[in-house]
Amino acid sequence: GQSLEQPSEVTAVEGAIVQINCTYQTSGFYGLSWYQQHDGGAPTFLSYNALDGLEETGRFSSFLSRSDSYGYLLLQELQMKDSASYFCAVRDGTSGTYKYIFGTGTRLKVLA
Amino acid sequence: DSGVTQTPKHLITATGQRVTLRCSPRSGDLSVYWYQQSLDQGLQFLIQYYNGEERAKGNILERFSAQQFPDLHSELNLSSLELGDSALYFCASSGTSGSENNEQFFGPGTRLTVL
């Protein structure tokens, strides 16, 4: 079946760099997305990788390796406001149709 | 503010009842997606509509149904409610059918409590 795995929790200090990994198992892969969700809030889109390599958007970067079924989100110069849950998601296109699958999320705690 | 609106914000009802959740997408967006998020859980994709037609389907229960109207707003109907249906229901929209960069804009959600 289809699944995504990511660590449940990561802790880092302000100013540090943190990497959140995501491994996926799908049959009809169409791309890996990352979303941020603060407690009580709605998910917000961070990045999308359809091809192998690194995508950079300000302090956040996302990487994809399709051959390894693996991706990661890299957060640099951590700030307290980055404390949130981060979800990886795929658009899985098996069985002639597709659906969206989200990981269970990684809770990032940024310490002062 | 994502531009996606959802009503109501909160809904409290009893088991066995039926409720309707409403979503208005961002201006110009043709796709609407529905997700369920239970306490401390990830997002479970329910269904996607594109320009009025069902485009993708997740693990949506038979007790649940959705539709997208000509003005592109969407409604999610939940019937024969059970305690386990208590969750946050998000609607998202995008300007594409889903084959492009996959960016979805989420509304603030409707918190459903079934007693």
Q: CB contacts < 8 Å between A and B, how many?
A: 54
Report the distance separating Cα B44 and Cα B77, nearest Å.
16
Name which of A66, A110, A74, A57 is nearest A90 in CA terms: A66
Determine the pLDDT at residue A94.
64
Q: Does residue B44 sit in helix, strand or coil?
A: strand
Cross-chain Cβ contact B103/A104 below 8 Å: no
- For chain A, the average pLDDT equals 92
User: Do residues A98 and A50 lie in contact, with contact meaning Cβ atoms separated by under 8 Å?
Assistant: no
Task: Assign A91 a pLDDT band (cuts: 50, 70, 90).
Answer: confident
Determine the pLDDT at residue B96.
67
Determine the pLDDT at residue A93.
74
Q: For chain B, which residues score pLDDT lower than 50?
A: none
Determine the pLDDT at residue A100.
87
- Which among A42, A48, A98 is the nearest to B101, CB-wise? A48
- Which chain B residue is nearest to residue A86, measuring alpha carbons? B42
CA atoms within 13 A on the CB side of B13: 22
Cross-chain Cβ contact A33/B56 below 8 Å: no
Cross-chain Cβ contact A98/B56 below 8 Å: yes
Query: Could you tell me what percent of chain A has a pLDDT over 90?
Result: 77
User: Do residues A94 and A28 lie in contact, with contact meaning Cβ atoms separated by under 8 Å?
Assistant: yes
Report the distance separating Cα B101 and Cα A47, nearest Å.
9
Determine the pLDDT at residue B2.
87
- Name the DSSP class of B25: P
How large is the average pLDDT for residues A72-78?
Answer: 97
**pLDDT > 80? residue A42:** yes
Q: Output b/e per residue, B72-94; b: 16+ Cβ within 10 A.
A: bebbbebeebeeebbbbbbbbbb
Determine the pLDDT at residue B95.
81
